[in-house]
A = this chain, B = another copy of it.
Amino acid sequence: MYAENKITSCANCARCWNNFRNLTEEELELINKNRYEATFKPSEIIIKQSSPASNAIFIISGLAKVYMEGYSGKNLILNLAEHSTLLAGPGAHVNARYTYSVAAITQVQACFINFDTIRKVISANPGFASGFIEDLSEKSFRLHQKILNLTQKKMHGRLAEALLYFADNIFRSDEFEMVLSRQELGEMTNMAKESVVRIIGEFENENIIHATPRSVKILDREKLLVISEKG
């Protein structure tokens, strides 16, 4: 996840975006020619919400947090993003502004590709366009789930779900590094950092997890699942 080798060409890079597989060699070369690579240090901002959305950004390696800057400076972390992820936000096709911000958590390697180029390829290649539709749909689908989670579950359920999200979707292990602070965990589950601390404490007392400030180990996945589902 922390690799940092320069990409020689899109043609031999498998870490960018699955949908690029739908491109012809020529199209892929067009993308490759219009590609700018950049590396971000932890906590650096990759995308700034509401700035002009000129580029589609693809994560090659590393981990980033995708978040919205809300009212009175309160953030809402939507999800984490790793390699093979297109970052742009729906705003690119609505008001040409980024809808969310993205910041590096670990060191992040990313490719920037101008939207003009992307649009050109969308118009030329129906398979790619369909892939784009699928990507948008999947993100929208997840957001629909998230809106339900955030509005209808109580704190315990939301935190349990966040922990399972890390285990299942990011680290694929029940024992993982906690890359977010308590504060950020709160921004992800829409609760105060103090509440995060308290509930993590409760989960520990009930032997559901073992947690340190920078690590989590899920001890009783069944219970955690029940808490996550029952809200």
Contact = CB atoms under 8 A, between A and B. Distances in A.
Nearest to A128: B129
A134 interface: yes
Contacts of A92: 137
A124 B150 CA distance: 39
B150 A147 contact: yes
Interface string A119-157: 100111011011011101111110110111011110000
A90 B137 contact: yes
A10 to B, nearest CB: 22
A124 B125 CA distance: 10
Interface in A30-84: 68, 70-72, 74, 76
Nearest to A72: B231
A140 B139 contact: yes
Contacts of A129: 122, 126, 129-130, 133
Interface of A: 68, 70-72, 74, 76, 89-95, 99-100, 119, 122-124, 126-127, 129-130, 132-134, 136-141, 143-144, 146-148, 150-153, 190, 231
A135 to B, nearest CB: 9
Contact of A99 (B70, B119, B127, B141): B141
A93 B143 contact: no
Nearest to A49: B144
Contacts of A126: 122-124, 126, 129
B122 A133 contact: yes
A100 B70 CA distance: 25
A130 B119 CA distance: 9
Nearest to A132: B133
A104 to B, nearest CB: 21
